[in-house]
Structure 1
Amino acid sequence: MNMSKYITVKDHSVSGESFDLIPNEEQDILVTTPQPHADNLSKYYESEDYISHTDTKRNLLEHVYHLIRKRALKNKLSLINSFKTEEKTLLDIGCGTGDFLKTALEDDWKISGIEPNSDARNIANSKTGNKVFDSSKLSEFDANSFDVITLWHVLEHLPNLEEHLRIFNRLLKTNGHLIIAVPNYKCYDAEHYKSFWAAYDVPRHLWHFSQKGMKRIFEEKGLLLDKTYPMYFDSFYVSLLSEKYKSGFMNPFKAFWIGLRSNLKAKHSGEYSSLIYIFKKD
Protein backbone atom coordinates (compact mmCIF):
# COMPACT_ATOMS: atom_id res chain seq x y z
CA MET A 1 0.00 0.00 0.00
CA ASN A 2 1.19 3.50 -0.85
CA MET A 3 1.23 5.35 2.46
CA SER A 4 1.23 8.83 0.87
CA LYS A 5 -2.23 10.19 1.55
CA TYR A 6 -4.72 11.04 -1.18
CA ILE A 7 -6.63 13.57 0.97
CA THR A 8 -7.44 14.34 4.62
CA VAL A 9 -11.15 14.44 5.46
CA LYS A 10 -13.03 15.52 8.56
CA ASP A 11 -15.97 13.66 10.11
CA HIS A 12 -18.44 16.51 9.64
CA SER A 13 -21.51 14.79 11.07
CA VAL A 14 -20.53 13.19 14.40
CA SER A 15 -17.04 13.35 15.92
CA GLY A 16 -15.20 16.21 14.17
CA GLU A 17 -12.14 13.96 13.92
CA SER A 18 -9.91 13.92 10.83
CA PHE A 19 -8.85 10.87 8.83
CA ASP A 20 -6.42 10.30 5.97
CA LEU A 21 -7.49 8.45 2.83
CA ILE A 22 -4.56 6.26 1.78
CA PRO A 23 -4.39 4.73 -1.73
CA ASN A 24 -4.19 0.98 -2.03
CA GLU A 25 -2.72 0.97 -5.53
CA GLU A 26 -2.93 -2.81 -5.93
CA GLN A 27 -6.73 -2.74 -5.52
CA ASP A 28 -7.25 0.84 -6.78
CA ILE A 29 -9.25 1.90 -3.71
CA LEU A 30 -8.75 4.44 -0.91
CA VAL A 31 -8.58 3.26 2.70
CA THR A 32 -9.76 5.39 5.63
CA THR A 33 -6.83 5.65 8.04
CA PRO A 34 -6.78 5.06 10.94
CA GLN A 35 -9.77 2.75 10.86
CA PRO A 36 -11.77 2.53 14.08
CA HIS A 37 -11.80 -0.87 15.67
CA ALA A 38 -14.99 -2.78 14.81
CA ASP A 39 -16.07 -2.60 18.46
CA ASN A 40 -15.86 1.22 18.39
CA LEU A 41 -17.50 1.87 15.03
CA SER A 42 -21.00 2.15 16.47
CA LYS A 43 -20.22 5.43 18.27
CA TYR A 44 -19.68 7.12 14.90
CA TYR A 45 -23.30 6.30 13.98
CA GLU A 46 -24.73 7.85 17.15
CA SER A 47 -26.45 10.82 15.55
CA GLU A 48 -30.07 11.73 14.99
CA ASP A 49 -28.94 12.89 11.55
CA TYR A 50 -27.87 9.42 10.41
CA ILE A 51 -30.66 9.25 7.92
CA SER A 52 -30.75 5.59 6.86
CA HIS A 53 -31.57 4.60 10.45
CA THR A 54 -34.70 6.74 10.69
CA ASP A 55 -37.96 7.43 8.88
CA THR A 56 -38.13 11.08 10.00
CA LYS A 57 -38.74 14.03 7.64
CA ARG A 58 -37.64 17.01 9.74
CA ASN A 59 -35.84 19.19 7.19
CA LEU A 60 -35.12 19.76 3.50
CA LEU A 61 -32.35 17.16 3.41
CA GLU A 62 -34.55 14.44 4.90
CA HIS A 63 -37.47 15.32 2.59
CA VAL A 64 -35.15 15.11 -0.42
CA TYR A 65 -33.77 11.78 0.83
CA HIS A 66 -37.21 10.23 1.20
CA LEU A 67 -38.40 11.60 -2.13
CA ILE A 68 -35.41 10.04 -3.87
CA ARG A 69 -35.82 6.81 -1.91
CA LYS A 70 -39.45 6.44 -3.03
CA ARG A 71 -38.41 6.62 -6.68
CA ALA A 72 -35.36 4.43 -6.06
CA LEU A 73 -37.46 1.63 -4.55
CA LYS A 74 -39.36 1.20 -7.81
CA ASN A 75 -36.11 1.14 -9.77
CA LYS A 76 -34.54 -1.40 -7.41
CA LEU A 77 -37.54 -3.72 -7.68
CA SER A 78 -37.49 -3.48 -11.48
CA LEU A 79 -33.80 -4.35 -11.43
CA ILE A 80 -34.10 -7.52 -9.35
CA ASN A 81 -37.18 -8.58 -11.31
CA SER A 82 -35.12 -8.40 -14.51
CA PHE A 83 -33.11 -11.47 -13.42
CA LYS A 84 -34.19 -15.03 -14.10
CA THR A 85 -34.31 -16.51 -10.60
CA GLU A 86 -35.13 -19.97 -9.29
CA GLU A 87 -37.04 -19.12 -6.14
CA LYS A 88 -36.90 -15.31 -5.85
CA THR A 89 -34.75 -15.49 -2.71
CA LEU A 90 -33.32 -12.11 -1.67
CA LEU A 91 -30.83 -11.05 0.99
CA ASP A 92 -30.49 -7.31 1.59
CA ILE A 93 -27.42 -6.49 3.70
CA GLY A 94 -27.54 -3.22 5.62
CA CYS A 95 -31.24 -2.89 4.99
CA GLY A 96 -31.79 0.12 7.27
CA THR A 97 -35.48 0.60 8.07
CA GLY A 98 -36.56 -2.09 5.62
CA ASP A 99 -38.38 -0.27 2.83
CA PHE A 100 -36.68 -2.16 0.00
CA LEU A 101 -37.35 -5.51 1.67
CA LYS A 102 -40.99 -4.53 2.20
CA THR A 103 -41.28 -3.58 -1.48
CA ALA A 104 -39.77 -6.92 -2.55
CA LEU A 105 -41.95 -8.88 -0.11
CA GLU A 106 -45.06 -7.31 -1.60
CA ASP A 107 -43.86 -8.59 -5.00
CA ASP A 108 -43.60 -12.19 -3.72
CA TRP A 109 -39.85 -12.29 -3.03
CA LYS A 110 -38.68 -14.53 -0.19
CA ILE A 111 -36.76 -11.99 1.83
CA SER A 112 -34.08 -11.85 4.49
CA GLY A 113 -32.26 -8.80 5.78
CA ILE A 114 -29.20 -7.89 7.83
CA GLU A 115 -29.13 -4.65 9.85
CA PRO A 116 -26.66 -4.12 12.73
CA ASN A 117 -28.41 -1.03 14.16
CA SER A 118 -31.04 -2.24 16.63
CA ASP A 119 -33.37 0.77 16.26
CA ALA A 120 -33.39 0.54 12.46
CA ARG A 121 -33.76 -3.25 12.68
CA ASN A 122 -36.85 -2.93 14.89
CA ILE A 123 -38.46 -0.56 12.38
CA ALA A 124 -37.56 -2.92 9.54
CA ASN A 125 -39.03 -5.92 11.35
CA SER A 126 -42.30 -4.06 11.88
CA LYS A 127 -42.53 -3.75 8.08
CA THR A 128 -41.32 -7.22 7.07
CA GLY A 129 -42.70 -9.61 9.69
CA ASN A 130 -39.41 -10.15 11.52
CA LYS A 131 -37.29 -11.05 8.50
CA VAL A 132 -34.35 -8.82 9.53
CA PHE A 133 -31.46 -10.01 11.71
CA ASP A 134 -28.24 -8.69 13.21
CA SER A 135 -24.87 -9.28 11.54
CA SER A 136 -24.19 -12.58 13.32
CA LYS A 137 -26.88 -14.21 11.17
CA LEU A 138 -24.64 -13.97 8.08
CA SER A 139 -22.60 -16.97 9.21
CA GLU A 140 -25.75 -19.03 9.85
CA PHE A 141 -27.27 -18.95 6.36
CA ASP A 142 -26.68 -22.08 4.26
CA ALA A 143 -24.34 -21.86 1.29
CA ASN A 144 -25.95 -21.14 -2.08
CA SER A 145 -29.09 -19.75 -0.40
CA PHE A 146 -29.87 -16.62 -2.42
CA ASP A 147 -30.69 -15.76 -6.00
CA VAL A 148 -29.96 -12.09 -5.34
CA ILE A 149 -27.88 -10.33 -2.68
CA THR A 150 -28.04 -6.54 -2.46
CA LEU A 151 -25.94 -3.92 -0.68
CA TRP A 152 -27.27 -0.41 -1.27
CA HIS A 153 -24.51 1.95 -0.11
CA VAL A 154 -23.34 -0.60 2.45
CA LEU A 155 -20.09 -2.15 1.18
CA GLU A 156 -18.12 0.97 2.08
CA HIS A 157 -19.22 0.55 5.73
CA LEU A 158 -18.14 -3.07 6.20
CA PRO A 159 -15.00 -3.90 8.19
CA ASN A 160 -13.02 -6.99 7.15
CA LEU A 161 -13.72 -6.41 3.46
CA GLU A 162 -12.02 -9.59 2.22
CA GLU A 163 -13.98 -11.75 4.66
CA HIS A 164 -17.28 -10.23 3.57
CA LEU A 165 -16.47 -10.83 -0.11
CA ARG A 166 -15.95 -14.52 0.68
CA ILE A 167 -19.27 -14.61 2.56
CA PHE A 168 -21.16 -13.09 -0.38
CA ASN A 169 -19.66 -15.67 -2.72
CA ARG A 170 -20.61 -18.51 -0.37
CA LEU A 171 -24.23 -17.39 0.07
CA LEU A 172 -24.93 -16.63 -3.58
CA LYS A 173 -26.30 -19.35 -5.83
CA THR A 174 -24.51 -20.26 -9.05
CA ASN A 175 -25.75 -17.80 -11.71
CA GLY A 176 -27.00 -15.59 -8.88
CA HIS A 177 -26.54 -11.82 -8.89
CA LEU A 178 -24.80 -9.55 -6.40
CA ILE A 179 -25.93 -5.91 -6.61
CA ILE A 180 -23.72 -3.29 -4.99
CA ALA A 181 -24.22 0.49 -4.98
CA VAL A 182 -21.29 2.61 -3.81
CA PRO A 183 -20.04 6.19 -4.19
CA ASN A 184 -17.43 6.82 -6.86
CA TYR A 185 -14.59 9.03 -5.61
CA LYS A 186 -13.50 9.77 -9.18
CA CYS A 187 -16.69 11.71 -9.99
CA TYR A 188 -16.85 15.45 -10.66
CA ASP A 189 -18.67 16.37 -7.42
CA ALA A 190 -15.87 14.71 -5.42
CA GLU A 191 -13.33 16.68 -7.45
CA HIS A 192 -15.27 19.90 -6.84
CA TYR A 193 -15.92 19.56 -3.09
CA LYS A 194 -12.62 17.85 -2.23
CA SER A 195 -12.43 17.30 1.57
CA PHE A 196 -16.02 18.51 1.97
CA TRP A 197 -17.42 15.82 -0.35
CA ALA A 198 -20.14 14.25 1.78
CA ALA A 199 -19.77 10.77 0.28
CA TYR A 200 -16.35 10.35 1.90
CA ASP A 201 -18.33 10.20 5.19
CA VAL A 202 -15.34 9.15 7.30
CA PRO A 203 -14.90 7.04 9.33
CA ARG A 204 -18.24 5.32 8.62
CA HIS A 205 -16.99 4.79 5.08
CA LEU A 206 -13.95 2.61 5.54
CA TRP A 207 -13.26 2.11 1.82
CA HIS A 208 -13.64 4.38 -1.21
CA PHE A 209 -14.06 2.69 -4.57
CA SER A 210 -13.29 3.39 -8.21
CA GLN A 211 -14.79 1.45 -11.10
CA LYS A 212 -11.46 -0.21 -11.79
CA GLY A 213 -11.12 -1.17 -8.13
CA MET A 214 -14.61 -2.66 -7.87
CA LYS A 215 -14.07 -4.85 -10.93
CA ARG A 216 -10.68 -5.98 -9.70
CA ILE A 217 -11.51 -6.98 -6.12
CA PHE A 218 -14.70 -8.86 -7.03
CA GLU A 219 -13.27 -10.73 -9.99
CA GLU A 220 -10.50 -11.95 -7.70
CA LYS A 221 -13.29 -13.70 -5.74
CA GLY A 222 -14.89 -15.24 -8.83
CA LEU A 223 -17.70 -12.67 -9.18
CA LEU A 224 -17.73 -11.25 -12.70
CA LEU A 225 -18.94 -7.76 -13.51
CA ASP A 226 -22.02 -8.00 -15.70
CA LYS A 227 -23.36 -4.42 -15.90
CA THR A 228 -22.94 -0.98 -14.34
CA TYR A 229 -25.70 1.59 -13.90
CA PRO A 230 -25.52 5.26 -12.83
CA MET A 231 -27.42 6.63 -9.83
CA TYR A 232 -28.36 10.04 -11.24
CA PHE A 233 -29.98 11.45 -8.09
CA ASP A 234 -26.98 10.84 -5.85
CA SER A 235 -24.97 13.74 -7.26
CA PHE A 236 -27.73 16.17 -6.21
CA TYR A 237 -28.21 14.72 -2.72
CA VAL A 238 -24.46 14.47 -2.05
CA SER A 239 -23.91 18.02 -3.34
CA LEU A 240 -26.66 19.33 -1.06
CA LEU A 241 -24.98 17.77 1.98
CA SER A 242 -21.52 18.82 0.78
CA GLU A 243 -22.68 22.43 0.56
CA LYS A 244 -23.84 22.18 4.18
CA TYR A 245 -20.41 20.91 5.27
CA LYS A 246 -18.56 23.52 3.22
CA SER A 247 -20.57 26.67 3.94
CA GLY A 248 -22.81 25.86 6.90
CA PHE A 249 -26.05 25.82 4.92
CA MET A 250 -27.39 23.64 2.11
CA ASN A 251 -27.47 26.22 -0.69
CA PRO A 252 -29.87 24.15 -2.85
CA PHE A 253 -29.40 26.17 -6.05
CA LYS A 254 -25.63 25.77 -6.09
CA ALA A 255 -25.94 22.11 -5.05
CA PHE A 256 -28.33 21.49 -7.94
CA TRP A 257 -25.89 23.11 -10.38
CA ILE A 258 -22.93 21.04 -9.16
CA GLY A 259 -25.03 17.85 -9.21
CA LEU A 260 -26.17 18.62 -12.74
CA ARG A 261 -22.63 19.35 -13.93
CA SER A 262 -21.47 16.10 -12.39
CA ASN A 263 -24.06 14.10 -14.32
CA LEU A 264 -23.38 15.95 -17.57
CA LYS A 265 -19.63 15.35 -17.31
CA ALA A 266 -20.28 11.70 -16.42
CA LYS A 267 -22.22 11.20 -19.66
CA HIS A 268 -18.82 11.37 -21.36
CA SER A 269 -16.49 9.99 -18.66
CA GLY A 270 -18.81 7.39 -17.07
CA GLU A 271 -17.71 8.66 -13.64
CA TYR A 272 -21.09 9.20 -11.95
CA SER A 273 -21.36 10.22 -8.28
CA SER A 274 -22.59 6.74 -7.36
CA LEU A 275 -22.80 3.56 -9.40
CA ILE A 276 -24.69 0.28 -9.21
CA TYR A 277 -22.55 -2.75 -10.03
CA ILE A 278 -24.12 -6.06 -11.05
CA PHE A 279 -21.86 -9.06 -10.46
CA LYS A 280 -22.71 -12.60 -11.45
CA LYS A 281 -21.49 -15.83 -9.90
CA ASP A 282 -20.56 -18.34 -12.60
Structure 2
Amino acid sequence: MNFKEENKFLIVKDYSVSKETFALLYNKEYDLLKTHPFPDLSVLPKYYESEDYISHTDGKRTFFEKIYHFVKKRAIKNKVKLINSYHKNKGALLDVGCGTGDFLVEAQNQGWKATGYEPNESAKKLTNSKNVSTIDNLVSLSANSFDVITLWHVLEHVPNLEEYIKNLKKLLKPSGTLIVAVPNYKSYDAIYYKRHWAAYDVPRHLWHFSKKSIKRLFSDVDMNLTCVLPMWFDSFYVSMLSEKHKTGKINFIKAIFIGLRSNCVGLFKKEFSSHIYVLKNNK
Protein backbone atom coordinates (compact mmCIF):
# COMPACT_ATOMS: atom_id res chain seq x y z
CA MET A 1 0.00 0.00 0.00
CA ASN A 2 1.28 3.42 -0.95
CA PHE A 3 0.88 6.37 1.45
CA LYS A 4 2.25 9.71 0.25
CA GLU A 5 3.02 12.58 2.62
CA GLU A 6 1.15 15.00 0.36
CA ASN A 7 -2.05 12.97 0.88
CA LYS A 8 -2.65 14.29 4.39
CA PHE A 9 -6.14 13.69 5.71
CA LEU A 10 -5.79 15.36 9.13
CA ILE A 11 -3.25 16.48 11.74
CA VAL A 12 -3.97 14.95 15.16
CA LYS A 13 -2.41 14.93 18.62
CA ASP A 14 -1.52 12.28 21.18
CA TYR A 15 -3.58 13.60 24.10
CA SER A 16 -2.85 10.64 26.39
CA VAL A 17 0.92 10.31 26.73
CA SER A 18 3.42 12.23 24.58
CA LYS A 19 1.37 15.28 23.43
CA GLU A 20 3.15 14.88 20.06
CA THR A 21 1.37 15.59 16.77
CA PHE A 22 0.97 13.14 13.89
CA ALA A 23 -0.45 13.25 10.38
CA LEU A 24 -3.01 10.81 9.03
CA LEU A 25 -2.12 9.84 5.46
CA TYR A 26 -4.82 8.64 3.08
CA ASN A 27 -4.73 5.72 0.67
CA LYS A 28 -7.60 6.02 -1.82
CA GLU A 29 -7.44 2.44 -3.10
CA TYR A 30 -8.04 0.99 0.38
CA ASP A 31 -9.91 3.99 1.85
CA LEU A 32 -7.44 3.62 4.70
CA LEU A 33 -5.60 6.10 6.95
CA LYS A 34 -2.10 5.55 8.30
CA THR A 35 -0.46 7.35 11.22
CA HIS A 36 2.65 9.31 10.20
CA PRO A 37 5.39 9.28 11.26
CA PHE A 38 5.00 5.59 11.87
CA PRO A 39 6.59 4.88 15.29
CA ASP A 40 9.59 2.58 15.39
CA LEU A 41 8.75 -0.73 17.08
CA SER A 42 11.45 -0.14 19.67
CA VAL A 43 9.78 3.03 20.98
CA LEU A 44 6.12 2.10 20.46
CA PRO A 45 5.67 0.56 23.97
CA LYS A 46 6.40 3.90 25.64
CA TYR A 47 3.20 5.33 24.15
CA TYR A 48 1.19 2.79 26.17
CA GLU A 49 2.74 3.81 29.49
CA SER A 50 -0.29 5.48 31.05
CA GLU A 51 -2.49 4.62 34.02
CA ASP A 52 -5.40 5.94 31.95
CA TYR A 53 -5.06 3.17 29.35
CA ILE A 54 -8.22 1.56 30.64
CA SER A 55 -8.26 -1.70 28.62
CA HIS A 56 -5.04 -2.82 30.34
CA THR A 57 -6.39 -2.50 33.89
CA ASP A 58 -9.26 -3.69 36.04
CA GLY A 59 -9.20 -0.34 37.83
CA LYS A 60 -12.41 1.28 39.06
CA ARG A 61 -10.87 4.45 40.53
CA THR A 62 -13.23 6.96 38.96
CA PHE A 63 -16.91 7.21 38.10
CA PHE A 64 -15.92 7.03 34.43
CA GLU A 65 -13.99 3.77 34.96
CA LYS A 66 -16.92 2.29 36.91
CA ILE A 67 -19.27 3.06 34.03
CA TYR A 68 -16.77 1.57 31.57
CA HIS A 69 -16.52 -1.73 33.45
CA PHE A 70 -20.30 -1.92 34.01
CA VAL A 71 -20.93 -1.61 30.26
CA LYS A 72 -17.97 -3.89 29.52
CA LYS A 73 -19.65 -6.76 31.42
CA ARG A 74 -22.75 -6.56 29.28
CA ALA A 75 -20.72 -6.12 26.08
CA ILE A 76 -18.72 -9.28 26.84
CA LYS A 77 -21.89 -11.36 27.15
CA ASN A 78 -23.07 -9.99 23.80
CA LYS A 79 -19.71 -10.82 22.19
CA VAL A 80 -19.87 -14.44 23.36
CA LYS A 81 -23.49 -14.62 22.22
CA LEU A 82 -22.31 -13.47 18.77
CA ILE A 83 -19.65 -16.18 18.41
CA ASN A 84 -22.12 -18.78 19.71
CA SER A 85 -24.51 -17.82 16.90
CA TYR A 86 -21.89 -18.78 14.30
CA HIS A 87 -20.66 -21.95 16.01
CA LYS A 88 -23.20 -24.04 17.88
CA ASN A 89 -20.56 -26.74 18.47
CA LYS A 90 -18.12 -24.73 20.52
CA GLY A 91 -14.49 -25.38 19.71
CA ALA A 92 -11.16 -23.56 19.87
CA LEU A 93 -11.19 -19.80 20.30
CA LEU A 94 -8.26 -17.38 20.07
CA ASP A 95 -8.68 -13.84 21.38
CA VAL A 96 -5.88 -11.63 20.04
CA GLY A 97 -5.10 -8.66 22.29
CA CYS A 98 -7.11 -10.19 25.12
CA GLY A 99 -6.38 -7.36 27.57
CA THR A 100 -7.26 -8.42 31.11
CA GLY A 101 -8.95 -11.63 29.94
CA ASP A 102 -12.60 -11.08 30.91
CA PHE A 103 -13.90 -12.06 27.46
CA LEU A 104 -11.87 -15.27 27.64
CA VAL A 105 -13.31 -16.09 31.06
CA GLU A 106 -16.88 -15.71 29.81
CA ALA A 107 -16.18 -17.74 26.65
CA GLN A 108 -14.54 -20.49 28.71
CA ASN A 109 -17.51 -20.53 31.10
CA GLN A 110 -19.79 -21.07 28.12
CA GLY A 111 -17.86 -24.08 26.83
CA TRP A 112 -15.20 -22.68 24.53
CA LYS A 113 -11.59 -23.87 24.60
CA ALA A 114 -10.33 -20.32 24.96
CA THR A 115 -6.78 -19.04 24.46
CA GLY A 116 -5.56 -15.45 24.66
CA TYR A 117 -2.64 -13.48 23.31
CA GLU A 118 -1.67 -10.20 25.00
CA PRO A 119 1.69 -8.46 24.47
CA ASN A 120 1.27 -6.06 27.41
CA GLU A 121 2.84 -7.74 30.43
CA SER A 122 0.76 -6.08 33.16
CA ALA A 123 -2.51 -6.93 31.38
CA LYS A 124 -1.26 -10.47 30.72
CA LYS A 125 -0.58 -10.99 34.44
CA LEU A 126 -4.19 -10.09 35.21
CA THR A 127 -5.37 -12.54 32.54
CA ASN A 128 -3.22 -15.37 33.92
CA SER A 129 -4.63 -14.77 37.41
CA LYS A 130 -8.11 -15.63 36.05
CA ASN A 131 -7.29 -19.25 35.17
CA VAL A 132 -7.37 -18.88 31.39
CA SER A 133 -4.73 -19.98 28.91
CA THR A 134 -2.41 -17.48 27.21
CA ILE A 135 0.37 -17.76 24.64
CA ASP A 136 3.54 -15.70 24.19
CA ASN A 137 3.36 -15.24 20.41
CA LEU A 138 1.26 -16.08 17.36
CA VAL A 139 4.09 -17.22 15.09
CA SER A 140 4.57 -20.61 16.77
CA LEU A 141 0.91 -21.63 16.42
CA SER A 142 -0.06 -24.34 13.93
CA ALA A 143 -2.13 -23.58 10.85
CA ASN A 144 -5.87 -24.29 10.91
CA SER A 145 -5.94 -24.29 14.72
CA PHE A 146 -8.99 -22.20 15.60
CA ASP A 147 -12.72 -22.25 14.94
CA VAL A 148 -13.01 -18.58 15.91
CA ILE A 149 -10.44 -15.78 16.14
CA THR A 150 -11.47 -12.46 17.67
CA LEU A 151 -9.76 -9.07 17.67
CA TRP A 152 -11.68 -6.54 19.76
CA HIS A 153 -10.14 -3.14 18.96
CA VAL A 154 -6.74 -4.67 18.15
CA LEU A 155 -6.16 -4.49 14.39
CA GLU A 156 -5.63 -0.71 14.53
CA HIS A 157 -2.58 -1.34 16.79
CA VAL A 158 -0.80 -3.84 14.51
CA PRO A 159 2.40 -2.54 12.80
CA ASN A 160 2.69 -5.11 9.98
CA LEU A 161 -0.94 -5.00 8.89
CA GLU A 162 -0.95 -7.08 5.69
CA GLU A 163 1.40 -9.72 7.11
CA TYR A 164 -0.71 -9.93 10.27
CA ILE A 165 -3.91 -10.47 8.29
CA LYS A 166 -2.27 -13.29 6.30
CA ASN A 167 -1.25 -14.98 9.55
CA LEU A 168 -4.78 -14.70 10.99
CA LYS A 169 -6.15 -16.46 7.92
CA LYS A 170 -3.52 -19.19 8.26
CA LEU A 171 -4.46 -19.84 11.90
CA LEU A 172 -8.19 -20.05 11.14
CA LYS A 173 -9.81 -23.34 10.19
CA PRO A 174 -11.30 -23.37 6.65
CA SER A 175 -14.81 -23.26 8.13
CA GLY A 176 -13.82 -20.84 10.88
CA THR A 177 -14.97 -17.31 11.67
CA LEU A 178 -12.85 -14.21 12.12
CA ILE A 179 -14.39 -11.34 14.10
CA VAL A 180 -12.75 -7.92 13.99
CA ALA A 181 -13.90 -4.78 15.82
CA VAL A 182 -12.34 -1.40 14.94
CA PRO A 183 -13.28 2.30 15.08
CA ASN A 184 -14.83 3.85 11.98
CA TYR A 185 -13.40 7.21 10.91
CA LYS A 186 -16.49 7.84 8.74
CA SER A 187 -18.89 7.89 11.70
CA TYR A 188 -20.79 11.02 12.73
CA ASP A 189 -18.80 11.43 15.96
CA ALA A 190 -15.52 11.21 14.01
CA ILE A 191 -16.70 13.88 11.57
CA TYR A 192 -18.04 16.07 14.39
CA TYR A 193 -14.94 15.98 16.61
CA LYS A 194 -12.41 15.96 13.73
CA ARG A 195 -8.86 16.25 15.16
CA HIS A 196 -10.21 15.83 18.70
CA TRP A 197 -11.84 12.45 17.94
CA ALA A 198 -10.52 10.14 20.65
CA ALA A 199 -10.60 7.00 18.51
CA TYR A 200 -7.75 8.31 16.37
CA ASP A 201 -5.66 7.73 19.52
CA VAL A 202 -2.34 8.28 17.75
CA PRO A 203 0.22 6.78 17.70
CA ARG A 204 -1.20 3.72 19.48
CA HIS A 205 -3.69 3.46 16.63
CA LEU A 206 -1.49 3.02 13.60
CA TRP A 207 -4.32 2.43 11.13
CA HIS A 208 -7.80 3.94 10.77
CA PHE A 209 -10.42 1.93 8.92
CA SER A 210 -13.65 2.31 7.00
CA LYS A 211 -15.96 -0.48 5.90
CA LYS A 212 -14.30 -0.41 2.48
CA SER A 213 -10.86 -0.75 4.13
CA ILE A 214 -11.79 -3.94 5.95
CA LYS A 215 -13.55 -5.48 2.96
CA ARG A 216 -10.62 -4.76 0.66
CA LEU A 217 -7.85 -5.84 3.07
CA PHE A 218 -9.44 -9.21 3.75
CA SER A 219 -10.52 -9.84 0.16
CA ASP A 220 -6.79 -9.67 -0.62
CA VAL A 221 -6.40 -12.91 1.38
CA ASP A 222 -9.57 -14.44 -0.09
CA MET A 223 -11.82 -13.79 2.89
CA ASN A 224 -15.40 -12.63 2.56
CA LEU A 225 -17.05 -9.95 4.71
CA THR A 226 -20.38 -11.53 5.67
CA CYS A 227 -21.78 -9.13 8.25
CA VAL A 228 -21.19 -5.65 9.73
CA LEU A 229 -22.62 -4.84 13.16
CA PRO A 230 -22.61 -1.61 15.20
CA MET A 231 -20.96 -1.22 18.59
CA TRP A 232 -23.61 0.99 20.18
CA PHE A 233 -21.76 2.03 23.33
CA ASP A 234 -18.59 3.16 21.55
CA SER A 235 -20.13 6.43 20.34
CA PHE A 236 -20.80 7.49 23.95
CA TYR A 237 -17.43 6.36 25.30
CA VAL A 238 -15.50 7.97 22.45
CA SER A 239 -17.55 11.18 22.68
CA MET A 240 -16.76 11.48 26.39
CA LEU A 241 -13.04 11.20 25.72
CA SER A 242 -13.31 13.51 22.70
CA GLU A 243 -15.01 16.17 24.81
CA LYS A 244 -12.08 15.99 27.22
CA HIS A 245 -9.62 16.37 24.33
CA LYS A 246 -11.57 19.32 22.97
CA THR A 247 -12.40 21.25 26.16
CA GLY A 248 -10.11 19.80 28.86
CA LYS A 249 -12.95 18.18 30.81
CA ILE A 250 -15.55 15.45 30.35
CA ASN A 251 -18.96 16.92 29.55
CA PHE A 252 -21.29 13.95 30.14
CA ILE A 253 -24.43 15.67 28.86
CA LYS A 254 -22.81 16.85 25.62
CA ALA A 255 -21.10 13.50 25.10
CA ILE A 256 -24.35 11.58 25.57
CA PHE A 257 -26.07 13.91 23.09
CA ILE A 258 -23.34 13.49 20.44
CA GLY A 259 -23.14 9.73 21.06
CA LEU A 260 -26.90 9.37 20.68
CA ARG A 261 -26.91 11.51 17.56
CA SER A 262 -24.06 9.45 16.09
CA ASN A 263 -26.05 6.25 16.60
CA CYS A 264 -29.17 7.81 15.07
CA VAL A 265 -27.22 8.99 12.02
CA GLY A 266 -25.64 5.52 11.88
CA LEU A 267 -29.07 3.93 11.53
CA PHE A 268 -29.58 5.83 8.28
CA LYS A 269 -26.05 5.99 6.88
CA LYS A 270 -24.85 2.62 8.24
CA GLU A 271 -21.74 4.32 9.60
CA PHE A 272 -21.33 3.81 13.36
CA SER A 273 -18.57 4.90 15.75
CA SER A 274 -17.15 1.36 15.71
CA HIS A 275 -18.10 -1.73 13.72
CA ILE A 276 -17.86 -5.45 14.30
CA TYR A 277 -16.88 -7.25 11.09
CA VAL A 278 -17.64 -10.96 10.64
CA LEU A 279 -15.37 -12.59 8.06
CA LYS A 280 -15.27 -16.09 6.57
CA ASN A 281 -12.98 -17.89 4.16
CA ASN A 282 -14.23 -17.93 0.58
CA LYS A 283 -15.22 -21.38 -0.54
TM over 0.5: yes
> What is the rounded CA distance, in whole Å, between the counterparts of 1:128 and 1:220 in structure 2?
37
- What CA distance in whole angstroms lies between the structure 1 residues aligned with 2:225 and 2:91? 21
Task: Tell me how far 1:86 sits from its aligned partner.
Answer: 5.6
Query: Structure 1, unaligned stretches of length 5 or more?
Result: none
Match for residue 134 of structure 2?
Answer: 132
CA distance in 2, matches of 1:229, 1:211: 11
Tell me the C-alpha RMSD between the 2 structures. 1.0
In the TM superposition, residue 84 of structure 1 has moved relative to its aligned partner by 2.8
The answer for the alignment partner of 1:77 in structure 2 is 80
Q: Is the 8 Å Cα contact of residues 93 and 114 (structure 2) preserved in structure 1?
A: yes
Give runs of aligned pairs for residues 78-117 of structure 1, distance below 5 A.
78-84=81-87, 88-117=91-120
Structure 2 portions without partners, runs of 5+: none
Deviation of residue 61 (structure 1)? 2.2
Q: 2:259 corresponds to which residue?
A: 259
| AA aligned opposite 1:181 | A
Q: Spell out the pairing of 1:15-26 with structure 2 (5 A cutoff).
A: 15-26=18-29
More displaced 10-residue stretch of structure 1: 269-278 or 75-84 = 75-84
Per the alignment, in what secondary structure is the counterpart of residue 208 of structure 2? strand
What TM-score does the superposition give when structure 2 sets the normalisation length? Answer: 0.96
Secondary structure at 1:280's aligned position in 2? strand
CA contact (8 A) 1:61 1:240 kept: no
How many residues align? The count is: 279
Following superposition, the deviation at residue 60 of structure 1 comes to: 2.6
Task: Check whether the contact 1:64–1:237 (CA below 8 A) recurs between aligned residues.
Answer: no
Q: Kindly report structure 1 stretches of 4+ aligned residues shifted beyond 4 Å.
A: none
Instruction: Give 3-state SS (helix, strand or coil) of 1:80's partner.
Output: helix
User: Does the CA contact (< 8 Å) of 1:98 and 1:128 recur in 2?
Assistant: no
* Residue of structure 1 in register with 2:196 after alignment: 196
CA deviations over 1:235-267 (Å, ceiling 9, x no partner): 000000111111111000000000011001111
The alignment partner of 1:82 has SS state of helix
Worse-matched range after superposition: 81-90 or 164-173: 81-90
Can you list the C-alpha shifts for 1:82-140, whole angstroms capped at 9, x where unaligned? 113665110000000000000001111111111000010010011134x1123xx2011
